Amino acid sequence: MLLIEDLHVKVGDKEVLHDINLHIKEGETHVLLGPNGSGKTTLLMTIMGFASYSITEGKIAFKGEDVTKMKAHERAQRGIGMLFQRPPTISGLKLGKMLSAISRTKDEDIAELAKSVHMDKFLERDINKGFSGGEIKRSEVLQLMIQNPDFVMLDEPESGVDLENISLIGTAIGSLLEKEKHLIKRKKSGLVITHTGFILDYIDADKGHVMCDGEIKCHGNPREILKDIKQRGYKECLECRHQ
């Protein structure tokens, strides 16, 4: 599904990602762990195709096609989607209007989907304006439900969300990733940034990667890595893995 080879990324004059290699197969969900500022969000923004993240070396292939030079909307149209941790507020633009703009389905479906994540009362509100943490995430999930990407990137889907909302958002994300389907039948893939690991209860992740200083330092079972990090912190965890 997604193949990243020898990727180097600059933001401004500074190289922030060094020699990233990552292979996510169809139906797999990977977890990206790492301390704040290690480059996790940068990697997601680069995969999405945001202009400020310039790829200086390496390539990104999606479903066998080289997307390295494509713009964000071309990647989105090919099936890459992203849940933002802190999406911008767009004054005046109503959530419902945005959903209609990105949707190829009918308006009735939008209302129905909005109801399923308790966002039906927000369709006439400006996007993200005055939304709480949980509301922002529900709005993001709703946009992804309508976009229906084959590869879903989730940047801290549980941050700023209370326990009740985590269950709602987690279940919706699980279904975006076709977690209710049998392993063999799953077509959707994902890449998830998490600090708490709460989201892992809903998405049944396959692999974990730890990022530090713009590099992927180690790989393994996501729950085990998370357990190590929780017990010993990132510093010791990384040292341990390097031994």
Partner 1 sequence: MPRMPSPVKSPELSGPDRDRVAQVGIDLAMKNRCGSYLQMDQDVVHAECSEQGIEVLSFKKAMEKYDGMKEYTWQAVSPEKDDITRYVAAQKDPEGYVIIAHKGSNNILPIQACLYLGREQIQHVHNIIVAEEGAELHIISGCTSGEHVGKGGAHYGISEFFVKKDAKISFTMIHNWSENIEVYPRSASIVEDNGVFLSNYVCMQPVKKIQMYPTATLKGVNTVARFSSVVISTPGSYMDLGSRAILEGTGASAELITRAITKGGTIISRGHINGKTAGTRGHLECKGLILKDGLIYAIPEIEGSVVGTELSHEAAVGKLAKDEIEYLMSRGLDEDEATATIIRGFLDVKIAGLPEALQKQIDASIDEAEKAGF
Site size for partner 1, by CB under 8 A?
A: 27
Q: How far is the CB of 63 from partner 1 (least distance, A)?
A: 16
Element (H, E) at 96: helix 95-102
Q: How far is the CB of 147 from partner 1 (least distance, A)?
A: 6
Question: 84 or 202, CB closer to partner 1?
Answer: 84
User: Could you identify the residue written with the tokens 């010791």?
Assistant: 236
DSSP-H helix ranges across 103-209: 107-116, 133-147, 163-176, 200-203
Map the footprint of partner 1 across residues 128-157, applying CB under 8 A. Answer: 143, 147
List strand residue ranges (DSSP E) for 199-243, in order.
207-212, 215-220
Please state, in angstroms and as integers, the Cα–Cα distance from residue 122 to each residue in 84, 92, 114, 143, following that order. 18, 13, 8, 13
Q: How far is the CB of 81 from partner 1 (least distance, A)?
A: 8
Question: 143 or 165, CB closer to partner 1?
Answer: 143
- Binding mask of the shown chain, residues 101 to 120, with x at each position contacting partner 1 by CB under 8 A: xx------------------
Q: Is 92 in the site for partner 1 (CB under 8 A)?
A: yes
Q: Which residues contact 93 (CB under 8 A, 6 or more apart)?
A: 126, 127
Burial zone of 143 (CB within 10 Å; 0-12 exposed, 13-18 middle, 19+ buried):
buried
| 11, 55, 61, 76: residue in contact with partner 1 (rule CB under 8 A) | 76
Question: 50 or 198, CB closer to partner 1?
Answer: 50
Q: Is 163 in the site for partner 1 (CB under 8 A)?
A: no
Angle, to 10 degrees, between the axis of helix 133-147 and the axis of helix 107-116?
A: 140
Residues at the site binding partner 1, with contacts judged by CB under 8 A: 48-51, 71-73, 75-77, 81-82, 84, 87-88, 90-94, 97-98, 101-102, 126, 143, 147
